[in-house]
Structure 1
Amino acid sequence: MLKIGILGEYGPYPAPGGTTTGLLVQTETGHFLIDIGSGVLAEMTRHISLNDLDALIITHHHHDHVSDLGVLKYAIMVERAQGKRDRPLAVYANGEPKNDFAKVTMKDHVIATPIFADTVLTLCGATVRFAAVNHAIPTLAVAVEKDGKKFVFSADTGPCPEIERLAEEADLFICEASWLIADEGPAEIGHLTTKQAAEIAKKADVKDLCLTHLYPDYHPETIRQEGTQYFGRPVHVAQKGMWFEL
């Protein structure tokens, strides 16, 4: 079993009542987070307890992907002090920039291990692989595979061959779509339009596409229409509380 929950869908800041990037991955043997943006910790605790969280992956060190890391550290520390959690939290964080990685560990409570494009992890019975993608700072896209099923998260990226290769034949591709077609930003920022995300997914022959990292002012139906037009079949638009099971 591989279940993926959307805990946050906005970027670079949340809409009123919303949250920025965070995904909860569940298998038969545990749970791990991918990114922990604004509001993600509170949303996670709607689904699991802090003691149920086995690990956190950090794709990159931009605030809309890590802003709840500080309060997560406090939560783990307090839960352990009260005897509600029996172990430190393992965090697998992008090893670059080094000064950002160095801030992740909290002695005795949060233990950080650096990850890079060639890192391979086994988490909760799933194999986790990475690819360096095209963003303003070092960023890793994530592929999670278990029992013949494959889920890929683009993280933040502009067009690049690395994300196309990682997403190839994925059962589920959760891909950033920061811009509507008319609003495409400068290439050096490293983000995708709805059209670019859909075209990558189509080229990679993914089975199911969910667009995320949504600008708060955009209407979800506009995002859906643009994505569907270029993917060639209906796409999902990420929404807090949405779940996929592979």
Structure 2
Amino acid sequence: MRLIILGCYTPYPPPGGACLGYLLKGEKTQVLLEFGSGVMARLQEFIPFWELDAILLSHLHGDHMSDLGVYRYAADQAIIEGKRRSPIPVWALPEPEEVFATFTYKEALRSQKIEPGQEITIGEFTFTFLLTRHALPCVAMRITDGNKTLVYTGDTEYFGELVDFAKGADLLLAEATYLGVDLETGATGHLSAGQAAQIAHEAGVKRLILTHLRSWYKVSDLLGEARGLFPYSQVAVERAIVEV
């Protein structure tokens, strides 16, 4: 199982960067997690865009899905040119309804509803979902190929059930929007780098990658906060190829 970090920034990308997007590759399966601004261009550096087996969105905020609006035209053109013969499934929570309704597009895309607690199989990957604590309904994802396990937090505040959900994972990909000082001044709706590291420590994961980064924060500050609690912490680097 390989994870390619296409984009890692919020709420907007810096020059030359991209918002959230992760390409998950197996032996025969290619799945895109999130589809934020800048991810459409970045995806094509690694695979032909029409070869995706599925797209999964943790929730429907723009930094996680805005390039899907562009992708549907590209996927439609691939159908017209005969490069692809079937719609690409887009898995997401169905809220807000008016946004979810746009995910079915001609013969190119088909919306599929995620239900928290359900298990789905896409190629060699099995996904389970946990509803998180965020401004919009959002899910964390636990993904396994039967050998390795990746847990992705989506967007969330800290809560104990997330620790149980991440137990024993080979890799925890965790949002780290804040530093501890932000929480002290009342910030809500997201994790700090320290909280992400706390989850990694309590869950006994092997590695932690911090993502959902504010580009104006220093990597050294994020790492300093995280490694004080969990030494095996890294910060997401765009275009990095990670062996789970």
- Coarse TM-score class (shorter-chain normalised): over 0.9
Q: Distance in 1 between matches of 2:54 and 2:115?
A: 17
- Residue deviations 1:156-187, cap 9 Å, x none? 00011232121111000000000112222645
Secondary structure of 1:163's partner?
Answer: helix
Letter of the structure 2 residue corresponding to residue 125 of structure 1: E
Structure 2 counterpart of 1:53: 52
Structure 1 counterpart of 2:19: 20
Match status 1:40 vs 2:32: no
Letter of the structure 2 residue corresponding to residue 5 of structure 1: I
Structure 2 counterpart of 1:242: 240
Report which stretch shifted further, 12-21 or 134-143. Answer: 12-21
Q: Distance in 2 between matches of 1:105 and 1:160?
A: 33
Q: Counterparts in 2 of 1:1-246, with a 5 A limit?
A: 2-184=1-183, 186=186, 189-231=188-230, 233-246=231-244
Q: Distance in 2 between matches of 1:163 and 1:104?
A: 28
How many residue pairs match? The answer is 243
Question: Could you list the runs of 5+ residues in structure 2 that have no partner in the other structure?
Answer: none
- Residue deviations 1:15-50, cap 9 Å, x none? 121111111100111200011001011111110102
Report which stretch shifted further, 205-214 or 107-116. Answer: 107-116
Q: Distance in 2 between matches of 1:69 and 1:96?
A: 16
Give the TM-score of the pair, scaled to structure 2: 0.96
Q: Distance in 1 between matches of 2:115 and 2:96?
A: 11
Give the TM-score of the pair, scaled to structure 1: 0.95
Contact 1:51 1:86 in 2 (8 A): no
Contact 2:76 2:106 in 1 (8 A): no
Letter of the structure 2 residue corresponding to residue 86 of structure 1: R
Q: Distance in 2 between matches of 1:58 and 1:186?
A: 27
* Alignment RMSD: 1.3
Contact 1:141 1:153 in 2 (8 A): yes
Q: Distance in 2 between matches of 1:146 and 1:79?
A: 28
The percent identity for this pair of structures is: 37
- Residue deviations 1:110-139, cap 9 Å, x none? 001110212211112111110000101100
